[in-house]
Structure 1
Amino acid sequence: MSHAAPRRTEQTEIERKYDVHESAAVPDLAGVGGPDLAVATVERDDAVELAATYWDTVDHTLLGARTTLRRREGGSDAGWHLKLPPSAGTAGRREVHWPLGEPDETVPEALRRLVEARLRGRPVHPVLRLGTTRTVTRLLDGSGRALAEVADDVVRASNPDSASLRTWREWEVELAPGVDGAEGERLLDAVADRLEAAGASVSSSKSKLARGLGAEPAGAAGPAAGPSAASSSGGGSGGAASSTPSTAPGPAAPPKKKSAAAFVTSTVAGLRDELLTVDAAVRDDEPGAVHRLRSTARRLRAVLTVWDGVLDPRLAGAVVAGAAHVGHASRAARDAEVTRGRVATRASSAPTGFVAVQATGRLEARLDERLHEATGDVRRMLDSHAWFDLLDAVDALVAAPATGPHAADPASELSATRLRAERKRATRAVRAAFAAADASVDGGASAAGGAGADDVSSDLRHARTAVRRLRQALEVDHGRSGSGRRQARRAEAVQDALGEHRDALAAVRTVREVATLAHRLGEDTFGYGVLAALEVERAGEALRRFERAARRL
């Protein structure tokens, strides 16, 4: 008997929905399409009965974020289904499946963690039950390949909270896997013409869940709508509920076009959406996800610091503090991951036989242990009050009126003033770091632990922070003005050189730490010295690269 663990599967759903009268008949769709995709034949399946239970919070948090979570029995794809809104620049919705399990099972953790940034510890429960009689018409090309299918659904919805009943009929047209892009859209358009001629009209509802509940929630139109209020703890994931009930006001009147408020609000909303996306990526252990989390939090902090005085000061301050906490909590995981890669690279570049396998094995084991611990800390942070409070604060900041003294300033004028200040700040910090590095005896070796190492490292760290904030501000403003890209690249060159210097010295410290342990155990430590020397050399090269890049900044 097989005991294989359940497996999560995914697909991209590209579909269109239509309202239709109960007496309408699905028209003949043979011949629909054009020269690229043409329907040659159709096949109609027998009707099947589907039973679905939709899960959400009491205030329909998931629906407000254009997300649906259901458990469906019957048909060829029975199981748990999580439908996520389209990503930026994409047409289809991400649909994640999980095996059906037992009837009394709660929401699978593999699905819940993908939306925990929306739920924020809140419990979910059944909010709607649907019974659907579905008749599928499959559209095939001349070779018999499936192009799309039309589902003719007669739906019966019952609300377990209100005991209300609703019934309706709709048609869904969904492209087959592998059919997408412009060709897929043209096929959907052609099918739409035929269906509308038969009496169908574009659906007035976003989803069966929204229609079954009787109304589209206020947040349903926007992909980034967050929870409206904190509730009791004890969610399906076991995570902590937000410690402070959200008091975010309703959506404010949109700020004037081209104002600083419009620019900063839009930027913060985009970063908020990225935080929600990267939360699931970290929980899913996707490569580079912790780095994305750290970078997004830093960018959010930079925007609100550089454009201080535009949005609500109290909320902006809370977001800046929360973002700083995220950066601090994720630093150890990022450092361990980077150092592990550096050790492998240096070992492979060392002369043959200079670095023993025992040395690299001990280093990798130590770094794997450190990475595991640090990544666990990041995941625990994502289930903490601090993380949920940050997400609540960002939601509130985007929704609240911009009450800062510079909210009504023209975005172009305020950005020009703030970017000049950031350039001056970065220039001063770089000059100080340049002088400190120039005064050190040999750059790399001195900073690795020699005389004046702390002073040099402090100046370099301040320069890296200032230049990174300048680069981030320039990149953010580039989206508005279309300018500043060249200076952003120059700032990035300085930041990369200083980052390489920092990472090299971090690797030296780890190598020395593990070499000390190996020495106590009586092992040969020659290879550790080789690795440390190679990293010190890289640190010196990075300082020289920094000096060249600093002159161009």
Structure 2
Amino acid sequence: MTREQTLNKDPSTASDIDSVRTSNAAALADYLCAQRDIIVEGEIAARSGDAEAIPAIIVASRRARSAVAAHRTARDHHRELRRLIEDLRWFGLALGAAHDLDVQAVRLRSSAGALRARYLRGPVRERVEQYFDYNIEQARTEGRALLGSRRYLAVLTDLDSQIDELRGGTAGWASVDRPDVLLADLVERVQDRMRAVALALGEDSRDATVHSVRKAVRRLRYYIESIGPCEPERERALAALESLQDALGEHHDAVVAKRHLLQISRDAEKAEESSFTYGLLYQRELDVTDRLLGVLPQACDGAVRAVRLLAAAERPGGEGSSNG
């Protein structure tokens, strides 16, 4: 007999579980509704030329996707949910392309500007500007078209449908997985990926495994956000995860910068220009990734401890449960 079957034999415990599940379905509906509102308001602002609205739309789509994808039953057995998860992923990636390029342009302009004149070999600043101006304009054009697309409207429609089902009690997928069980699974996912980082050989492999940790941490953080109002255990867990996510985000920015520098240096070499400066800039980004690799284990351990305390509080009858 499973642990959950044992719990369900006790009528009072079963009542606790049902109460928690109902409460969490309502909290998830509110969370998804808030993300949908941010997306719609951001779309209106973006169409009016407000570039600052785009990052908020991207984060909202990631939050909604992570909160839903954290549910195993939703991920594995519900076709409509799988489609929504994939469409939210597509939406965030496609819309975020221009913003990501903007961030990288600022980063590499700053890095090049910090070099002494004697280290600037060739038209480095001009080539960086040319590279990003072209790519950013392409991405912005595609992003504007995306906001009026049928697929974008389908994302909103599917979100509305899930919100209505959650509030109406007909979203069976949201009432199967207990929060403490999901939290344990999500923590294990993070730890498994951190172990992969320690075993990774070579620069590219390490970069890829750290990025996989980043995605697992993001899913864990946004799932925790979706399960109700912040209580002390939840606040501590979210603060620890946000700090870890910041370090992982900085690592990711450095990895992406390396890729852009490789492409820019190839363009320079084709034009028979020196690639010396791009090598210096690449080494700086490599130093950033190496530094962050050193701090990630401790940051991850702290976040895991905080989430485990939250999971204990979320168990039916625990201090943080609705009936505790």
Correspondence 1:544 to 2:309: no
Sort the Cα spacing of 1:479 and 1:434 in 2 relative to 1 into closer, same or farther, 3 A.
farther
Alpha-carbon separation, structure 2, partners of 1:539 and 1:257: 41
Q: Which of 62, 66, 69 is matched with 1:305 structurally? A: 69
Q: Which residues in structure 2 correspond to 1:60-459 (within 5 Å)?
A: 259-307=23-71, 313=78, 315-355=80-120, 358-400=123-165, 401-405=168-172, 414-436=178-200, 440=201, 446-447=202-203, 453=204, 455-459=205-209
Alpha-carbon separation, structure 1, partners of 2:179 and 2:46: 33
Q: The residue matched to 1:259 in structure 2 has which SS?
A: helix
**Contact 2:257 2:285 survives alignment (8 Å):** yes
Question: Which structure 2 residue ranges, 5 or more long, are not aligned?
Answer: 1-18, 304-324
Instruction: State TM-score, norm by structure 2.
Output: 0.77
- Residue 5 (structure 2) aligns with: none
Sort the Cα spacing of 1:487 and 1:477 in 2 relative to 1 into closer, same or farther, 3 A.
same
Alpha-carbon separation, structure 1, partners of 2:120 and 2:293: 26
In the TM superposition, residue 486 of structure 1 has moved relative to its aligned partner by: 2.0
Instruction: State TM-score, norm by structure 1.
Output: 0.47
Partner letter of residue 300 of structure 1?
Answer: A
Sort the Cα spacing of 1:396 and 1:258 in 2 relative to 1 into closer, same or farther, 3 A.
closer
In the TM superposition, residue 290 of structure 1 has moved relative to its aligned partner by: 2.7
- Root-mean-square deviation (Å): 2.9
**Contact 1:507 1:535 survives alignment (8 Å):** yes
Alpha-carbon separation, structure 2, partners of 1:505 and 1:524: 22
Identical aligned residues as a percent: 23
Q: Which of 277, 282, 286 is matched with 1:532 structurally? A: 282
Q: Which of 442, 453, 464 is matched with 2:214 structurally? A: 464
**Contact 2:58 2:92 survives alignment (8 Å):** yes
Partner letter of residue 99 of structure 2?
Answer: R
Larger radius of gyration: 1
- Residue 483 (structure 1) aligns with: 233
**Contact 2:62 2:92 survives alignment (8 Å):** yes
Q: The residue matched to 1:403 in structure 2 has which SS?
A: coil
Per-residue Cα deviation, 1:320-370 (whole angstroms, up to 9, x for no partner): 222121123134323312210110221232234322582012112211211
In the TM superposition, residue 258 of structure 1 has moved relative to its aligned partner by: 5.4
Question: Which structure 1 residue ranges, 5 or more long, are not aligned?
Answer: 1-254, 441-445, 448-452
Name whichever structure is richer in helix by fraction. 2
Sort the Cα spacing of 1:481 and 1:505 in 2 relative to 1 into closer, same or farther, 3 A.
same
Alpha-carbon separation, structure 1, partners of 2:99 and 2:71: 28
User: Which structure carries more relative contact order (alpha carbon 8 Å, separation 6+)?
Assistant: 2
How many residues end up aligned between the 2 structures? 282
Alpha-carbon separation, structure 2, partners of 1:291 and 1:318: 23
Partner letter of residue 105 of structure 2?
Answer: R
